[in-house]
């Protein structure tokens, strides 16, 4: 069995014109930013492929991550929901140059091989008796 093709890309996010804001104040800007990022990252991804997004920051104990999902299920709303869950738990996410975005792309194979079936006529399908 062939192994699946997987690619991982890491990006350091740099924010301009945020002036030491915390993520809760910048959700509209984050929505705009992630819309552009997703268009760039998923542009060459086939519909059947799986993708995963991981957001890392020094203030977080664990990275914000989404599971492997189909490309069309990865939306800005899904990403912002995960960020809002972190912010509601009284944790801060400072937007500076230490925020790292990892994007994983898993190429799934296209279907299987067609079955080789020999089409037999009705006479060939009948069982022949060994007793005569």
Domain CATH for 33:
3.30.1490
- Burial label for 95, CB within 10 Å (0-12, 13-18, 19+), is buried
Domain contains 124: no
Label residue 70 by pLDDT band (50, 70, 90): very high
Q: Which domain holds residue 30?
A: 5-110
Structure token digits, residue 89? 């738990």
Task: Please count the structural domains in the chain.
Answer: 1
Q: Which of 72, 64, 78, 75 is nearest to 45 (CA)?
A: 72
Domain contains 121: no
Label residue 78 by pLDDT band (50, 70, 90): very high
* Global confidence as pTM: 0.70
Beta pairing, strands 69-70 & 50-56: antiparallel
The overall average pLDDT reported for the chain is 78
User: Is residue 7's pLDDT more than 70?
Assistant: yes
Domain contains 126: no
Is-contact 43 105, C-beta < 8 A? no
Domain contains 120: no
Q: How many angstroms separate the CA atoms of 55 and 23, rounded?
A: 13
Among left, alpha and beta (phi > 0; psi -120 to 50; other), residue 7 is beta
Domain contains 50: yes
Domain contains 79: yes
């Amino acid at each position: 069995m062939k192994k699946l093709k997987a690619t991982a890309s890491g990006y350091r996010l740099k924010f301009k014109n945020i002036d030491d804001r915390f993520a809760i104040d910048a959700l509209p800007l984050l929505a705009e930013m992630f819309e552009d990022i997703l268009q760039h990252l998923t542009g060459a991804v086939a519909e059947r492929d799986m993708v995963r997004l991981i957001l890392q920051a020094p203030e977080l104990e664990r990275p914000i991550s989404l599971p492997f999902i189909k490309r069309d299920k990865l939306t800005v709303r899904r990403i912002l929901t995960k960020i809002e869950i972190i912010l509601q738990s009284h944790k801060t996410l400072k937007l500076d140059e230490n925020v790292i975005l990892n994007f994983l792309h898993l190429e799934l194979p296209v279907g299987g091989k067609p079955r080789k079936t020999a089409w037999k006529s009705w006479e060939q399908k009948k069982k022949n008796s060994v007793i005569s």
